[in-house]
Amino acid sequence: MSATPAAVIVAIDGPSGTGKSSTSKAVAARLGLRYLDTGAQYRAMTWWMLNNGIDVSDPSEIAAAADKPAIVSGTDPQAPGISADGADASVPIRSQEVTAAVSAVSAVPEVRTRITDLQRTIAAGTQEPGDAGTGIVVEGRDIGTTVLPDADLKVFLTASPEARAARRSGELKSADGKAHADLAATQQALAARDKADSSRKTSPLKKAGDAVEVDTTELTLEQVIECVVTLVEKASADKAGRMEKAAR
């Protein structure tokens, strides 16, 4: 693990299957930064609502329940962890049931306000002793545009719909042990989620104007990680230079 010269705030956004989680975790681990999976927070909120009888087809019921569960996210890139009202949510938030409902829940403004506040508190490092002044890699859909518009580096990952579906169906296959996950159905489900996430009114999935776009279609995961590590190291050195100049 190489040390970064200045604590940096890194925003990594993009649609599903572009490599956000794998890249963000690896970059954070290599550079000694914290890590936050914001999709996991929306998934934990959705899981809690499904478990607590909230009708997730009714935005007013979702809005009324948005401030109820305590959502706690870990920031260790090697073992992030997430809980809702004290119950470990790490595994159930990946279920098909949660995946199918998460776009509707995360489109509700009250949910976004609640979770955005949590994200900003975690990024600021004021929650845990020892976190203050440490950098973080935050991945999601609206980090560069809304949650952390002053991030030191913004990256927007993309990949072709075919590559993204192949990656996701590979994961589903290894999870359920079936020989052939349905690639076409996976691609269709991803397209539907993209559409919902990009067309919602509040804070849609969108590339920030000042984000660096990386098309990962033809890159291996290791190549993407190396590319982002280089970008973070440069952003960190630039920040250290600015801080030094300001201190003179």
Ligand X SMILES: Nc1ncnc2c1ncn2[C@@H]1O[C@H](COP(=O)(O)OP(=O)(O)O)[C@@H](O)[C@H]1O
Span of 2-10, 14-22, 63-71, 103-111 interacting with ligand X by CB under 6 A: 14-22
Span of 51-59, 67-75, 98-106, 177-185 interacting with ligand YYY by CB under 6 A: 98-106
Is residue 219 involved in binding ligand X (CB under 6 A)? yes
131 sits in the region (left: phi over 0; alpha: psi -120 to 50; else beta) called: alpha
Joined tokens for residue 90? 């790490």
| Whole-angstrom distance, CA of residue 8 vs CA of residue 29 | 14
Instruction: For the segment 174-203, give every residue that binds ligand YYY (CB under 6 A).
Output: 193, 197
| Whole-angstrom distance, CA of residue 179 vs CA of residue 21 | 25
Shortest separation between residue 102's beta carbon and ligand YYY, angstroms: 4
On whether 19 is known to bind a ligand per the annotation, the reply is: yes
Span of 13-21, 78-86, 116-124, 147-155 interacting with ligand X by CB under 6 A: 13-21
A 10 A CB-CB count for 174 gives 10
Residue 102 interface partner, choices ligand YYY, ligand X, none, CB cut-off 5-8 Å depending on type: ligand YYY
Q: How many residues does the chain have?
A: 248
Among 39, 81, 92, 170, binds ligand YYY (CB under 6 A): 39
Strand extents, DSSP E, 79-194: 82-84, 87-88, 136-140, 153-158
> Minimal CA–CA distance to 13: which of 137, 124, 115, 164?
137
The residue (of 80 and 140) whose beta carbon lies closer to ligand YYY is 140
| Whole-angstrom distance, CA of residue 34 vs CA of residue 78 | 10
Is residue 73 involved in binding ligand YYY (CB under 6 A)? no
Kindly state the number of chain residues that form the binding site for ligand YYY, as judged by CB under 6 A: 15
Residue 167 interface partner, choices ligand X, ligand YYY, none, CB cut-off 5-8 Å depending on type: ligand X
Residue 224 interface partner, choices ligand X, ligand YYY, none, CB cut-off 5-8 Å depending on type: ligand X
**Long-range contacts from 88-96, C-beta under 8 angstroms, 24+ separation:** 89/40, 89/43, 89/44, 89/47, 89/48, 90/40, 92/47, 93/40, 93/43, 93/44, 93/46, 93/47, 94/43, 94/175, 95/47
x/- track of binding to ligand X for residues 15-54 (CB under 6 A): -xxxxxxx--------------------------------
Q: Which residues are annotated as a binding site?
A: 14-22
Residues near ligand YYY, by CB under 6 A: 16, 38-40, 42-43, 102-103, 106, 140-143, 193, 197
